[in-house]
Amino acid sequence: MTRLLAAVALLGALASCGGRSYDPPRNLDDACALAGERPEYLRAMRTTERRWNVPVPVQMAIIHAESRFRGDARTPHRYALGVIPMGRQSSAYGYSQALDGTWEEYQTATRNRRAERDDIRDASDFIGWYASEARRLNGIQPSDARNLYLAYHEGNAGFARGSYRNQTWLVTVANRVGERAVMYDAQLRACRRR
């Protein structure tokens, strides 16, 4: 009987340790605190920076705008007549809020079929890949967080058409992404000197 209890206790302890934690870091306005609390985020973003040339602060600002660093973020449900569930607003999921189709394009292009949107390494790599596409198709520099976010949100074809121009709310969000990237950059430079 004691062996059975010990086995159940061990299984319970292992179960509580298993799985990913999707909770965001506590302080999303301090890049140094964020990196200190989740060093794996910074490692993933540095790998992406080396591979795709997208600065860490730009990646951080985009992830902040998309999911607030919540790994299992989803769009809200839609309701008919205010009560009948009609599914989610879109298939966007994870840190990067990539849509199903765009994620599949990324998986095919990078030959990484095992990539998961709720894995920070894959999500930051996705942002790097998307930025390289935005540069190739629209001439957007990887350090241009504002325009990169507009292309990210509207798609490269939508950005080329200027679909964001009549969406003042989106331009406002993109401006904030640009400002946040500058803020994160200054913070990361300061904490490196400490």
Bigger pLDDT: 60 vs 11: 60
For residue 52, which phi and psi values (nearest 5 degrees)? -115, -5
Amino acid, res. 64: H
DSSP state of 23: P
Q: How confident is the prediction for the chain on average, in pLDDT?
A: 88
Average pLDDT over residues 164-176: 97
Beta-ladder partners of 79: 85
Polymer length in residues for the chain: 194
pTM, two decimal places: 0.85
Lowest-confidence segment of 10-14, 107-111, 137-141, 169-173 by average pLDDT: 10-14
* pLDDT band with cut points at 50, 70 and 90 for residue 9: very low
Token pair 């200190």 in the structure block, residue: 36
Interior/surface letters 63-72, b for 16+ CB within 10 angstroms, e for the rest: bbbbbebbbe
Q: Is the pLDDT of residue 78 over 90?
A: no
pLDDT for the residue numbered 20: 66
Q: Is the pLDDT of residue 8 over 50?
A: no
Q: Is the pLDDT of residue 190 over 50?
A: yes
Q: Is the pLDDT of residue 3 over 60?
A: no
Question: pLDDT per residue over 39-63, tens digit each?
Answer: 999 999 999 999 999 999 999 999 9
pLDDT for the residue numbered 90: 74
In angstroms and rounded to an integer, the radius of gyration of the C-alpha atoms of the chain is 19
Beta-ladder partners of 84: 80
pLDDT for the residue numbered 79: 59
* pLDDT band with cut points at 50, 70 and 90 for residue 10: very low
Q: Whole-angstrom Cα distance, residue 157 to residue 153?
A: 11
pLDDT for the residue numbered 83: 59
Residue 136 CB contacts under 8 Å (≥ 6 apart), including other chains: none
Q: Residue 41 to residues 71, 76, 107, 109: CA-CA distances in angstroms? A: 11, 25, 20, 23
